[in-house]
């Protein structure tokens, strides 16, 4: 699963991205290159299971974050053509908006407030979507009035009306068929977004007014500069640095977990001496689909799954105790996997 970064120059998206990496890449790579980093999703449940089973390997769920290259930034737009290729395939977006005042970091022309910058980003995404819709509608007119083309045209006209009313596509409910028809367009305003208000370190104690959360839009405030400085320190020195700033923890883990949640993902676990692993799967997935995340053969030959929820496992302390108390249950092909399930798949 991919999450793309967007924001006007000077908002701090590169600084936040560097904090995710844990090191400064300023001296590596060429200007204009799209940067990618795979970040593990913090999960105390995985850590506890690893302590319990002492496996040879422990694997957390992961997210791929994508940052369009610096050369793609433009004073006129946050979405130059060069950036669209990078973030088009993303499943969700991080919108970084400036909420700090630093004299040596000039503001983007026209930038006045968090709300105004966010609205400009939303407007640019909706405009890009409208351009794609208009292009496709013109092509459909040339292709004639086939039934399939007519159905697509009706949907596109509904999308156009939604955007012209200044409503991002993500805020409406769409059927599975409609979503399937839209998938190839990679509409930006359809993607769920995490709005990050990048504040100065002196503003963490008294945050400025933040945009409201809306359907498929979460809001988080953090200081990208602090996050980067902490990430670049050795782990042993980080608590002292945070204490000096009056902080108990960084916002990095909260940010990553928010992105994971925004993707509508949950984690189920497999455990054993070889590996304890978190497997991300779409919320609402049935057991065979979850089994397919482990291996396609498990989905094809799925018979049933032996399941216990993490909370029940922690309460009794071991799989042997869970089995003796009848807490390990067998679930069939229609079972909807729950966040925190520990599963063992039986297959043909």
CATH of 284-347, one of 3.90.79.10, 3.40.630.10, 3.10.20.30, 3.40.50.10320: 3.10.20.30
The pLDDT of residue 133: 95
The pLDDT of residue 115: 87
For Cα atoms 50, 54, 57, give the angle at the middle one, nearest 5 degrees: 70
Taking residue 284's Cβ as centre, other Cβ atoms within 10 Å add up to: 10
The pLDDT of residue 157: 93
Closest CA to 36 of 57, 18, 54, 55: 18
The pLDDT of residue 108: 56
Do 263 and 63 meet the contact criterion of CB atoms below 8 Å apart?
A: yes
Mapping DSSP to helix (H, G, I), strand (E, B) and coil, where does residue 14 land? helix
Q: How far apart are CA 288 and CA 302, in angstroms?
A: 6
The pLDDT of residue 145: 63
Mapping DSSP to helix (H, G, I), strand (E, B) and coil, where does residue 244 land? helix
For Cα atoms 111, 81, 30, give the angle at the middle one, nearest 5 degrees: 90
pLDDT in tens, the chain (348 residues): 899 999 888 888 989 999 988 744 443 334 458 889 999 999 999 999 999 999 999 999 999 999 987 654 455 566 767 778 888 899 999 999 988 876 555 555 555 678 888 999 999 999 999 999 999 998 888 776 666 678 888 899 999 999 999 999 999 998 888 998 898 999 999 999 999 999 887 777 677 788 888 889 999 999 999 889 888 888 888 888 888 877 777 888 889 999 999 999 999 999 999 999 999 999 999 999 999 999 999 999 999 999 999 999 999 999 999 999 989 999 999 999 999 999 999 998
Residues sharing a CB contact under 8 Å with residue 76, sequence separation 6 or more, in sequence order: none
The pLDDT of residue 26: 42
Element (H, E) at 196: strand 193-199
Mapping DSSP to helix (H, G, I), strand (E, B) and coil, where does residue 37 land? strand
Closest CA to 276 of 20, 98, 54, 94: 54
For 247, what's the count of Cα atoms within 13 Å in the CB-facing half-sphere? 19
Which region, left, alpha or beta, applies to residue 297 given φ > 0 means left and ψ of -120 to 50 means alpha? alpha
Fold match flag (2-110+190-261 vs 284-347): no
Q: How far apart are CA 153 and CA 148, in angstroms?
A: 9
User: What residues does each domain of the chain span?
Assistant: 2-110+190-261, 284-347
Domain topology for 2-110+190-261? Rossmann fold (3.40.50)
Closest CA to 58 of 45, 76, 69: 45
Mapping DSSP to helix (H, G, I), strand (E, B) and coil, where does residue 205 land? coil
Q: How far apart are CA 119 and CA 127, in angstroms?
A: 12
Do 281 and 268 meet the contact criterion of CB atoms below 8 Å apart?
A: yes
pTM comes to: 0.86
Which region, left, alpha or beta, applies to residue 345 given φ > 0 means left and ψ of -120 to 50 means alpha? beta
For 87, what's the count of Cα atoms within 13 Å in the CB-facing half-sphere? 29
Do 334 and 286 meet the contact criterion of CB atoms below 8 Å apart?
A: yes
Do 331 and 304 meet the contact criterion of CB atoms below 8 Å apart?
A: yes
The pLDDT of residue 151: 82
Do 197 and 221 meet the contact criterion of CB atoms below 8 Å apart?
A: yes
The pLDDT of residue 140: 84
Q: At which residue do the structure tokens 């089973």 appear?
A: 53
């Amino acid at each position: 699963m991919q999450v793309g970064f967007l924001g006007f120059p000077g908002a701090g998206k590169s600084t936040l991205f560097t904090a995710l990496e844990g090191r400064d890449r300023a001296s590596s790579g060429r200007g204009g290159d799209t940067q990618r980093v795979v970040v593990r999703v913090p999960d105390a449940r995985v850590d506890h299971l690893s302590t319990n089973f002492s496996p040879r390997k422990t694997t957390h769920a992961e997210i791929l974050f994508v940052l369009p290259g610096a050369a793609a930034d433009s004073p006129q737009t946050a979405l130059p053509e060069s950036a669209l290729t990078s973030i088009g395939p993303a499943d969700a977006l991080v919108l970084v908006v400036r909420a700090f005042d630093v004299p040596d970091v000039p503001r983007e022309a026209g930038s006045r407030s968090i709300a105004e910058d966010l609205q400009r980003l939303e407007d640019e995404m909706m405009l890009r979507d409208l351009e794609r819709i208009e292009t496709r509608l013109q092509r459909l007119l040339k292709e004639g009035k086939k039934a399939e083309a007519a159905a697509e045209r009706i949907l596109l006209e509904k999308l156009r009306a939604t955007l012209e009313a200044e409503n991002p596509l993500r805020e409406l409910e769409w059927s599975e068929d409609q979503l399937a028809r839209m998938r190839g367009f990679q509409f930006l305003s359809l993607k769920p977004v995490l709005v990050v208000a990048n504040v100065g370190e002196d503003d963490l104690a008294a945050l400025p007014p933040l945009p409201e959360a809306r359907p498929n839009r979460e809001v988080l405030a953090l200081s990208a500069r602090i996050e980067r400085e902490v990430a670049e320190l050795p782990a042993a020195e980080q608590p002292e640095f945070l204490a000096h700033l009056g902080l108990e923890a960084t916002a990095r883990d909260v940010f990553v977990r928010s992105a994971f949640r925004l993707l509508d993902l949950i984690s189920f676990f497999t455990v054993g001496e070889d590996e304890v692993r978190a497997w991300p799967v779409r919320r609402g997935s049935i057991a065979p689909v979850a089994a397919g995340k482990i291996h396609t053969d498990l989905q094809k030959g799925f018979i049933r799954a032996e399941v216990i929820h993490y909370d029940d496992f922690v309460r009794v302390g071991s799989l042997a105790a869970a089995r003796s108390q009848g807490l390990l249950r067998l679930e069939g092909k229609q079972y909807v996997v729950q966040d925190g399930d520990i599963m063992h798949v039986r297959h043909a």
